[in-house]
Amino acid sequence: MNGRDPFAAVRALARVELRALRAHPRRALLLVVLVAVPVAAVAGAGTMLGVLTPSREERRTQAMGRADLVIEAPAGHADLLRATPHLPPDVRVARIAQGAESVVAGGLRLHARLVAAEAATLAPGAPVEGLVVLRAGRAPVDAGEVALSPSLLEGLGVDLGDRVSLAYGGPRVVTGVVVEPEAIDAPLVLRTPSLVEAKGTERLLITVGDPGRAKRLAGRLRDAGLRTSERAAIVSTDDAVAAIVLALGSIGFAEAGLVIAAALGVTLRRRRREIGLLGACGAPPAAVAAAIVISTALLALCAGVAGAVLGNAIAWGLHPFYDAWTGRLNGPFVLSPGHAIAGVGLGVVAAAVAAALPAIAAARVPIRDALGGRRPGASTPRATPAFALGALALGLGLGFAPPLRALVGAGPSVIGGALLVVAGLGLAVPWLLETGARLASAVPLVPRLALRDAGRFRARNAPVVAAILAGMATSVTIAALIASARGALDAFPAIYRDDQLVFEGAAAEEAARTLAATSSHVLAVAPYRVAATNGMPVVARLDSTGAARQRGHREPWVAVGDDTLLTVLGADAARADFAQGRLLALDPPDGTRSVRFQDGPRGAELATHDVVSVATGRRVAGPAYVLGLAAAERSGHEAAPPPGRGLVPWYVRLDAPVTARDLAVARALAEKRPGTSVDAALAQDEPVRRIHGIVLLLCLATGLVVLLVAAALSNAESEGDLHTLRTVGAPPAVLRGYRAARTGFLALLGSALAVPAGLVPAVRILADANVDVPFVLPWREILAGLVLLPLVASGLAWLLAGDGGRRVTRALT
């Protein structure tokens, strides 16, 4: 016949496949879940992170509102006057001052960040729009009005319409509620600008409208000696987030693909006779295989679309909580179609690739064997050990051979090396299973049956072990990095002394004094304030004529206070010098004799002071210098909260290192006071431990799911063997023990191989890091993988060996 359609066989067979799926819909359930879940995770996480991650435009608005240009005016009004002649008449100009302020009401005094701007400049399209956001009420329009942030209103116990006093502005009526978009919980004061701003820094925000004009104007302003920033110059975005989501999602798809391959292999073996019939009717093997792959891919497409919808629905449902979680205004919910499409695409590809090998194997079984139900003998291709060794060698070479690393580059070496090591160990699994089966003769019956079964069905078990290997290797890598980082953190200065508690918030002083009154272990309490001039913190720089060049580990601020501050900071040894008004330098570099005071990090030089060096015996990142309050005031400085903190934190020093109980007592005090928190060195690594715990749990959970699917598949394939065991009188405990041992062995093999696979990239990453982080073996996590996973998996397989498990088996296959 002429004009034969070359794809007719594939289409016909694909119809047969899809009808088979419709006839046994539960067979599809496993594949649907394995594809839909990672797609949902990628699509949902991509959308969430897209909303949570500031866009380029949001970053520009953070820096300069709606303005095209910003002129910094360190000299205050004088700089503003110099700029005015250069500005075209049609541009919109807004003057804004930013600094620190104190708000007083009802006997309470709270410190906050200050923004001074005209109400009109906050309107939509005006230059200051977006720098601060009005949540309620209106912006202040004259010197008798002010807008406060929600945290200030709550801390002071005031509301719209109430009166408060500003330390640098007198009494005002609260007319509005205002927040900083990037820190909605931070204390903020918005008022109208004064004619002369005595504190803080002033800026001119200029809206030009045309980017080209803005660029030319910026050039003219710079030529006039004015510090000018352009909106177009802010270009950074956080593309790393999207890449991380897709990278993690790819690992999930790879594991899903391995399990799909195992499950499909079992299903196709059960359909041997049916496939044999197709061959007997003239279906070409290639068409049979193609039809299986196509039907799997189509099913994966449907599952992926469902997963994308589900993931985005979850992201949308959680949207109302984004602001509370992140402490910033995150904007409206916007879908990330790129992640959804990528997720669906990856799901389809993973399913199709996973289906290919079992489909080809099933289609190539001789028709007579397939019709007779004869199972083809298991064999490992001779080339597989060679490929495994080759991949391992190349992976280790990329990790540790300098010429190879130089050729490929550091980053690709780490990733490529890790992937090749995992691939190499994965390729070695069939050979390892076969070897285990061969060596099982002297082993007792139940483990012998498990080893022989694992080896016999290695075509199905190898992908399962590889999936465990990939997942647990990720956990081992992360565990090694975290364990090493935690070990290295000891070499870095801690934020606080181990005997300090730090209260922050509106009621920090009250909480600290309450703790001192109720505990006999408190040596001293003191506020941590720094010397400031014109609202800017004084920065002390080492005098270049005296000091050694090594970097100090402390912050360059000058803490001001009384004797209690000395005790809190552990500098009692210099009490006499402190009383004389001398400047103390805490744990300075060798040879330090004097420092220069600056007005802010990039400000003008103020004065040079001799220092008295004090050794506190602790490597902490606290203030580097201490000065008496009276001495600071004589030098023209005032006391302000440390940079980056709107309110003055209160330090409490105990007579011994802080214990978990001490921290719990302090936390209880803080929780009773809204907006107040407590911190300590002990609490610093809690987030790291929490993250690591979550990662480990996720990897164990993933491994368990994979193993339980494997257990169900194993049960499906060994029904005949189980029947034989029953007829020769195997007690139920032996039948369950056989199935449990089989699952436990697969888990143990995967976990054991995951140890070298996970440690290799960790060692490489640490060696390449710019900081000196010695490698620390995460033995606890390794033991958890080697012991916990096999035990739990065996236990669950034991439990599933009953009728419930048989129903699950039938459903899956």
Query: Which residue ranges make up the site for another protein (CB under 8 A)?
Result: 377, 437, 441-442, 444-445, 448-449, 452-453, 455-456, 720-721, 723-732, 734
Mark 595-614 as b/e (b = at least 16 C-beta within 10 Å).
bebbbbeebeebeebebbbb
Cα separation, 185 vs 200, in Å, equals 21
Q: How far is the CB of 437 from another protein (least distance, A)?
A: 7
Cα separation, 140 vs 134, in Å, equals 11
- Which residue number, 255 or 717, has a Cβ lying nearer to another protein? 717
3-state secondary structure of 74: coil
Q: How far is the CB of 729 from another protein (least distance, A)?
A: 3
Nearby residues of 505 by Cβ (< 8 Å), 6 or more positions away? 155, 511, 647, 670, 673, 675, 676, 677
3-state secondary structure of 169: coil
- Which residue number, 107 or 377, has a Cβ lying nearer to another protein? 377
Q: How far is the CB of 427 from another protein (least distance, A)?
A: 23
- Which residue number, 225 or 731, has a Cβ lying nearer to another protein? 731
DSSP structure string for 257-282 = HHHHHHHHHHHHHHTHHHHHHHHHTT
- Which residue number, 330 or 461, has a Cβ lying nearer to another protein? 461
- Which residue number, 2 or 441, has a Cβ lying nearer to another protein? 441
The DSSP output letter for 493 is P
Q: How far is the CB of 365 from another protein (least distance, A)?
A: 15
Question: Which residue from 403, 398, 248, 404 is spatially nearest to 763, judged by alpha carbons?
Answer: 398
Distance of CA 426 to the CA centre of its chain: 28
Contact 214, 69 (CB under 8 A): yes
Q: CA triplet 347, 249, 692: central angle to 5 degrees?
A: 150
Contact 490, 648 (CB under 8 A): no
3-state secondary structure of 468: helix
Q: Where are the alpha helices (DSSP H) in 108-238?
A: 150-156, 211-223
- Which residue number, 730 or 763, has a Cβ lying nearer to another protein? 730
Q: How far is the CB of 451 from another protein (least distance, A)?
A: 8
808: part of which helix (H) or strand (E)? helix 803-812
Q: How far is the CB of 258 from another protein (least distance, A)?
A: 23
Cα dihedral 669, 671, 677, 679 sign: positive
Q: How far is the CB of 797 from another protein (least distance, A)?
A: 17
3-state secondary structure of 541: strand
- Which residue number, 235 or 728, has a Cβ lying nearer to another protein? 728
- Which residue number, 465 or 512, has a Cβ lying nearer to another protein? 465
Q: How far is the CB of 274 from another protein (least distance, A)?
A: 19
- Which residue number, 457 or 650, has a Cβ lying nearer to another protein? 457
What separation in angstroms does the CA of 363 have from each of 5, 18, 359? 21, 17, 6
Encoded tokens for 607? 């004065």
Q: How far is the CB of 430 from another protein (least distance, A)?
A: 15
Cα separation, 147 vs 177, in Å, equals 5
**Residue at token pair 């075509």:** 459
Q: How far is the CB of 431 from another protein (least distance, A)?
A: 17
The DSSP output letter for 102 is E
- Which residue number, 704 or 730, has a Cβ lying nearer to another protein? 730
- Which residue number, 32 or 365, has a Cβ lying nearer to another protein? 365
Q: How far is the CB of 340 from another protein (least distance, A)?
A: 46
